[in-house]
Amino acid sequence: MDWNRPEWPQFNASVLRFELSSHNDIWNDFKNAVDSHVLIKAREWDGYLRSLDKVVYWDGDLRYGSDQEWISMRYFDPQSLNNHSYPQDWILSYKRQSGTLPPDCKVMVFHGYPKPHEVSDHYVISHWQSLSTT
């Protein structure tokens, strides 16, 4: 889900998964679209990195903010996208979550800012560090 644009449902890279070698067509379609200049790769200003390091793709006047947007929109119509995702109560936005972590939460998404290493929340610090050192 894109919490900044809920009307544009998409998979977030933190929860995007495929069985190994089961969807080579997705990669091939993406590569062919870029190689044939159907998708035009461009760079935009990334406020977090303070540089022109944000990669976006253009298909005519349609802007994809990332490859994950392209995959989401290319392979799933918006009405069926949730049928191909984890249950929504498993995935929460750190920015939009308040209080304690619900027991059903499996993935905490840090979209935009802050990033996990920028927060002082003890729970996040302890889990982020344990995951990043394994």
Listed by start position, the domains of the chain span 13-84, 88-132
Residues 6+ apart with CB under 8 A from 77: none
Q: What is the mean pLDDT of residues 71-92?
A: 74
Return the minimum-mean-pLDDT range out of 74-78, 106-110, 118-122.
Answer: 74-78
pLDDT at residue 134, as a whole number: 47
CA angle 46, 32, 73 (to 5 degrees): 60
Q: Which helix (H) or strand (E) holds 132?
A: helix 122-132
Comparison of pLDDT for 45 and 103, the residue scoring more:
45
Q: Mean pLDDT over all residues of the chain?
A: 77
What are the contacts of 73-79 at 24+ separation with CB within 8 A? 73/8, 73/10, 74/26, 74/29, 75/26, 78/8, 78/9
Percent of residues, the chain, with pLDDT higher than 90: 17
Strand 107-109 relative to strand 51-59, pairing? unpaired
pLDDT at position 130 over 60: no
